[in-house]
Amino acid sequence: MKNLIDIRDMSVEEIDQLIHTAIDIIENKEKYSKKCKGKTLATLFFEPSTRTRLSFEAAMFELGGNVLGFHDAGTSSTAKGESVSDTIRTVCCYSDIIAMRHPKEGAPLVASQKASVPIINAGDGGHNHPTQTLTDLLTIKMEKNSFNNMTVGFCGDLKFGRTVHSLINALMRYENLHFVLISPQELRIPEYLRSEMEANKNITFEEVSDLNDAISKLDILYMTRVQRERFFNEADYIRLKDSYNLTKKTLLNAKEDLKILHPLPRVNEISAEVDDDPRACYFKQTLYGKYIRMALIMKLLKIE
């Protein structure tokens, strides 16, 4: 594997190995503190980010490496009209590995075709977000110790939510999963993914709109924000933005061992009162994101 553009670039075995490394990093941090000495990660963020960019940067620092990049394309030559391909060719001269986020679906794939160093897709438009999925999988491993035999609820913006698309793609390769896709009619899963789920033998799924009806059967609840920046008009966003609000009351009917995940940032879809519930995992999930990215950087740089 040279790049990580789509979570399916990795086999289930490679993902297992990466999770194994991430857990070893958590348990033996010191052992990894110089693994990337002399190596440079570039973070090219053409779209806003807090967790993804900073966790990549923290990951590289904790591996003893260096970081450069930009987090506002308006201050880069993009603002002068430079193409993604030319920007990438340039940054390849100064770095050993690149993490890139872009509003256009497929931009990291195009970048990888021009690049002489590994490219990591850190989110492309409403399409994919494979490193968030690795984060989610490490969280599920730590909290449930299995990827099989579960009912997983995905709630919120399933149309534009790239983290949902990548996580569904990853989970479809495990066994005996049931997905409950909870969204307003307008924000249902894209047709291409629905067809893939229909053809898949490992999973079954249902599409519903009410979280309260679904909550009692879930083992994992993956909440998402309504993706304001992907809407064509503000009125639609305003109408749909408060479709869900997970509260203590909603959780009265939930399983004791439910695990609540959210890629963050959250807006109104989870009330702050839920943060103290032992079932809330989203801040732990943020921390796991750093460790799995450490493991990923080492893998792509072929560092043992």
CB of 199 to ligand NCD, least distance (A): 26
Q: Which lies closer to ligand NCD via its Cβ, residue 96 or residue 124?
A: 124
50 is catalytic: no
Catalytic choice (21, 40, 43, 52): 52
Specify the DSSP class assigned to residue 119.
E
Instruction: Write down the H helix ranges in 93-177.
Output: 107-114, 130-144, 162-171
Catalytic choice (39, 53, 102, 129): 129
Catalytic choice (35, 39, 51, 259): 51
Q: Cα–Cα distance between 192 and 113 in angstroms, integer?
A: 24
Helix (H, G, I), strand (E, B) or coil at 70: strand
CB of 256 to ligand NCD, least distance (A): 27
Q: Which lies closer to ligand NCD via its Cβ, residue 39 or residue 53?
A: 53
Q: Which lies closer to ligand NCD via its Cβ, residue 48 or residue 278?
A: 48
Question: Which residues on neighbouring strands pair with residue 98, listed in sequence order?
Answer: 42, 119
Q: Cα–Cα distance between 33 and 137 in angstroms, integer?
A: 24
Catalytic choice (101, 159, 262, 293): 101
194 is catalytic: no
293 is catalytic: no
Q: Which lies closer to ligand NCD via its Cβ, residue 293 or residue 299?
A: 293
CB of 265 to ligand NCD, least distance (A): 6
Q: With beta carbons less than 8 A apart as the criterion, state whether 179 and 205 touch.
A: yes
80 is catalytic: yes
Q: Cα–Cα distance between 69 and 59 in angstroms, integer?
A: 15
Q: With beta carbons less than 8 A apart as the criterion, state whether 170 and 292 touch.
A: no
Q: With beta carbons less than 8 A apart as the criterion, state whether 63 and 21 touch.
A: no
Give CA separation, 176 vs 16, 149, 194, 209, in Å: 18, 5, 17, 23
CB of 248 to ligand NCD, least distance (A): 23
Query: Nearest-CA neighbor of 240 among 227, 221, 223?
Result: 227
Q: Which lies closer to ligand NCD via its Cβ, residue 21 or residue 166?
A: 166
Residue nearest ligand NCD (C-beta atom): 263
102 is catalytic: no
Place of tokens 């440079």: 40
Residues lying near ligand NCD in the complex (CB under 6 A) are found at: 51-52, 123, 129, 132, 162-163, 224-225, 263-265
CB of 287 to ligand NCD, least distance (A): 12
Q: Which residues are catalytic?
A: 51-52, 80, 101, 129
